[in-house]
Amino acid sequence: MKVLGVDPGLTRCGLGVVESNGSQKLSMVGVGLIKTSPDLGLEMRLLELETELIEWIDLHKPDVIAVERVFSQLNVRTAMATGQAAGVALLVAARRGIPVMMHTPTEVKAAVTGSGRADKKQVALMVQKLLGLDEIPKPVDSTDALALAICHHWRGAGNARLAAAVEVDKARKLVKK
């Protein structure tokens, strides 16, 4: 399974692709950053994000896209920009028929480090270790995108199996009626 992690941002949007061949062994396929200029209008920045996300999807052909869930931030303007960037990722995925899973920062930290309260440095060091990288990818947006992809490999598959089991249970109960 190949997962594209997207750490949404209007100025800097981190991207990371992590692949698994069915075992716990994960490998980095690609990592990068989409930058848009604050001098451009909002609509042009969103178009730039869309264009580059499509290029990444065409190049890496992910099975799933994992996007960071924006739930609250102190700066409303930053939260809006992050939400707009996340919306572009969701739209591109929907147009391509690629499933999307959203993970909160706490879920990502817990999956990667074992603690939902880990700091950025701890997450970055674990991403480096888990993927067997010589160095931590820079900037932090890229590392966060890889962490999202790792989180989905470990949590997303389990969550999908639980959801499927619940559906099977519901179907069995309907059949018994």
Which residues are known to be catalytic?
Answer: 7, 68, 141
Q: How far apart are CA 63 and CA 76, in angstroms?
A: 32
Q: State the virtual CA torsion across 43, 48, 50, 53 in degrees, nearest 10.
A: -160
E strand or H helix at 30: strand 26-35
Q: How far apart are CA 32 and CA 16, in angstroms?
A: 6
* CB atoms inside a 10 Å sphere around CB 59: 11
Q: How far apart are CA 128 and CA 122, in angstroms?
A: 10
Q: Which residues on neighbouring strands pair with residue 14, listed in sequence order? A: 7, 33
Single-letter amino acid code for the residue at 63 = D
Cα distances from 135 to residues 44, 123, 130, in angstroms, run 34, 13, 12
